[in-house]
């Protein structure tokens, strides 16, 4: 975990060697929590010492049309000699159904995967729902946005055809009935991340497919961030 936390140092090394006009870095929003804020500040410092004017913000993927509760920290750097400051893009979608701000509502799970088979054989993790999985509410209904798409197949959110989860106490949830339940499939995860229908090599295992999707930056979010970079090319 320590090595992962400090992987940004290798990115900084590459910045100093390549010196691109701009860069974009994404990280978990927890980076700004009190116990991790030293890592956040250290990144800002190293980026600036490498010759970049840096902007940072936490973006909610739902505000860019991705049907998923996903908040991530973005750093965007502009090379200092360009004399430019990056401004993050305005939202393109409304998180709630209230569209008084003139923005369309964020798509729902139904919008993203409602046309797919309910029980796609071989496309979802079939392991038991262990105690850790049931330590939090991983259910969202058809007309909501999905829980965060993660890199672990075993921790993928519940599909809306599953029974809802009821809270027993802080770290324990149970299914409201004995109806069949399943995790979302990797194909559904890809759509909920803002991809289209991805095609994987037949040799790539199911866990690897979930991992590739869960670790990705949702394309609509990255597109919005990248398109806001001043034209310096």
Q: Rounded distance, CA 85 to CA 162, Å? A: 47
In a domain, 130, yes or no: no
Q: Rounded distance, CA 159 to CA 72, Å? A: 23
Q: How many domains does the chain have?
A: 1
Q: Please give the span between the terminal C-alpha atoms of the chain, in angstroms, as a whole number.
A: 37
In a domain, 187, yes or no: no
Q: How buried is residue 75: exposed, middle or buried, by Cβ count under 10 Å (0-12/13-18/19+)?
A: buried
Show the CA angle centred on residue 174, arms to residues 170 and 175, nearest 5°: 145
User: What CATH code is carried by the domain that includes residue 49?
Assistant: 3.40.50.150
Cβ neighbour number for residue 213 with a 10 Å cutoff: 25
> Residue 172 in 3-state DSSP?
strand
In a domain, 75, yes or no: yes
Q: Which contiguous run of DSSP H or E holds residue 202?
A: none
| The pLDDT of residue 2 | 45
Per-residue model confidence as pLDDT tens digits over 43-91:
999 999 999 999 999 999 999 999 999 999 999 999 999 999 999 999 9
In a domain, 47, yes or no: yes
Q: Are 134 and 103 in contact (CB under 8 A)?
A: no
Number of helices (H), then strands (E), in the chain = 7, 5
Q: Are 27 and 217 in contact (CB under 8 A)?
A: no
3-class secondary structure per residue, 11-80 = HHHHHHHHCCCEEEEEEEHHHHCCCCHHHHHHHHHHHHHCCEEEEEEEEEHHHHCCCECCEEEEEEEEEH
In a domain, 73, yes or no: yes
Q: Rounded distance, CA 64 to CA 134, Å? A: 30
Q: Is the pLDDT of residue 1 over 60?
A: no
In a domain, 54, yes or no: yes
Q: Write out the residue range of the structural domain in which residue 24 sits.
A: 2-95+218-227
Per-residue model confidence as pLDDT tens digits over 4-56:
567 888 999 999 999 999 999 999 998 899 888 998 999 999 999 999 999 99
The dihedral sign for the CA sequence 60, 63, 66, 67: positive
| The pLDDT of residue 54 | 97
In a domain, 78, yes or no: yes
In a domain, 77, yes or no: yes
Residue 157 is classified by DSSP as P
């Amino acid at each position: 975990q320590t090595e992962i936390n400090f992987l940004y140092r290798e990115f900084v090394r590459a910045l100093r060697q390549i010196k691109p006009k701009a860069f974009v870095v994404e990280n978990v929003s927890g980076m700004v929590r009190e116990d991790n804020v030293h890592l956040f500040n250290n990144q800002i410092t190293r980026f600036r010492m490498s010759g970049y004017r840096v902007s940072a913000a936490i973006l909610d993927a739902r505000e860019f049309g991705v049907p998923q509760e996903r908040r991530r920290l973005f750093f965007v750097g502009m090379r200092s000699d360009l004399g430019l400051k990056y401004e993050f893009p305005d939202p393109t979608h409304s998180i709630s159904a209230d569209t008084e701000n003139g923005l369309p509502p964020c798509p729902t799970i139904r919008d993203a995967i409602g046309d797919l088979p309910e029980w796609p054989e071989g496309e979802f993790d079939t392991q038991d729902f262990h105690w850790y999985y049931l330590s939090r509410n991983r259910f969202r209904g058809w007309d909501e946005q999905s829980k965060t798409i993660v890199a672990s197949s075993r921790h993928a959110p519940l599909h809306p055809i599953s029974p809802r989860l009821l809270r027993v106490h802080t770290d324990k949830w149970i299914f409201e009935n004995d109806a069949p339940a399943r995790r979302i499939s990797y194909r559904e995860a890809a759509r909920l991340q803002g991809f289209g229908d991805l095609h994987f090599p037949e040799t790539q295992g199911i866990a690897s497919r979930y991992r590739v999707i869960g670790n990705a930056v949702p394309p609509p979010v990255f597109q919005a961030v990248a398109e806001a970079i001043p034209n310096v090319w």
